[in-house]
Copies of this chain bind each other. A is one copy, B any other.
Amino acid sequence: MGGDHGPPVTVAGADLALDRFGTRPVRFLFHGDEARIRAELARYPRLADRASVRHTETVISGDEKPAQALRRGKGTSLWNAVEALRAGDAHAAVSGGNTGALMAISKLILRMVGGSDRPAIVAGWPTLTGVTAVLDVGANIDCDADQLVEFAILGSAFYAAVYGGDGAPRPTVALLNVGSEDMKGHQEVRDAHAILRAGKLDLDYRGFVEGNDIAMGAVNVIVTDGFTGNVALKTGEGMARFFAATLREALSSSLMNKAGAVLASGALKALRTRLDPSSVNGGPLLGLNGTVVKSHGGADARGLANAYLVAANLAGSTYLQDVARNMARLSAPDASPEVEPSTGSAA
Q: A108: which B residues are within 8 A, CB to CB? A: none
CB A151 to nearest CB in B, in angstroms, measures 15
How far is B177's CA from A116's CA once the two chains are assembled, in angstroms?
Answer: 21
Which chain A residues in 209-243 approach chain B with CB under 8 Å?
A: 210-216, 224, 226-228, 230-243
Q: Which of A25-33, A247-255, A323-331, A332-340 forms part of the interface with chain B?
A: A247-255
The 8 closest A-B pairs by CB, nearest first: A260-B264, A211-B234, A260-B263, A212-B238, A250-B267, A211-B235, A215-B242, A215-B238
Which chain A residues in 248-282 approach chain B with CB under 8 Å?
A: 250-251, 253-254, 256-257, 259-268, 270-271, 274-275
- Whether A241 pairs with B215 at a CB distance below 8 angstroms is yes
Tally of this chain's copies: 2
Given contacts A141-B186, A211-B233, A260-B262, 10 further A-B pairs with CB under 8 A are A215-B239, A227-B228, A235-B236, A246-B275, A247-B247, A250-B271, A257-B264, A259-B260, A260-B260, A260-B264
How far is B242's CA from A127's CA once the two chains are assembled, in angstroms?
Answer: 7
Question: Which of B138, B213, B266 is in CB contact (< 8 Å) with A183?
Answer: B138
CB A99 to nearest CB in B, in angstroms, measures 7
The answer to whether the Cβ of A166 comes within 8 Å of any Cβ in the partner chain is: no
How far is B226's CA from A241's CA once the two chains are assembled, in angstroms?
Answer: 25
The count of residues in chain A whose C-beta lies closer than 8 Å to any C-beta of chain B is 67
- Whether B250 pairs with A260 at a CB distance below 8 angstroms is no
How far is B227's CA from A210's CA once the two chains are assembled, in angstroms?
Answer: 11
- Whether B241 pairs with A178 at a CB distance below 8 angstroms is no
CB A34 to nearest CB in B, in angstroms, measures 31
CB A188 to nearest CB in B, in angstroms, measures 10
A233: nearest chain-B partner, CB-CB: B211
The answer to whether the Cβ of A181 comes within 8 Å of any Cβ in the partner chain is: yes
The answer to whether the Cβ of A179 comes within 8 Å of any Cβ in the partner chain is: yes
Question: Which of B182, B214, B263 is in CB contact (< 8 Å) with A259?
Answer: B263
Query: Can you name 5 A-B residue pairings with CB atoms under 8 Å?
Result: A178-B230, A246-B271, A247-B247, A250-B268, A261-B264
- Whether A141 pairs with B256 at a CB distance below 8 angstroms is no
Query: Chain A, 143-186, contact with B by CB distance < 8 Å: what is the 0/1 string?
Result: 00000000000000000000000000000000010111111011
- Whether A228 pairs with B226 at a CB distance below 8 angstroms is no
The answer to whether the Cβ of A128 comes within 8 Å of any Cβ in the partner chain is: yes
Which chain A residues in 179-213 approach chain B with CB under 8 Å?
A: 179-183, 185-186, 210-213
How far is B176's CA from A231's CA once the two chains are assembled, in angstroms?
Answer: 8
Q: A39: which B residues are within 8 A, CB to CB? A: none
Q: A246: which B residues are within 8 A, CB to CB? A: 128, 271, 274-275
- Whether B267 pairs with A242 at a CB distance below 8 angstroms is no
Question: Which of B232, B247, B262 is in CB contact (< 8 Å) with A271?
Answer: B247
- Whether B232 pairs with A211 at a CB distance below 8 angstroms is yes
- Whether A267 pairs with B275 at a CB distance below 8 angstroms is no
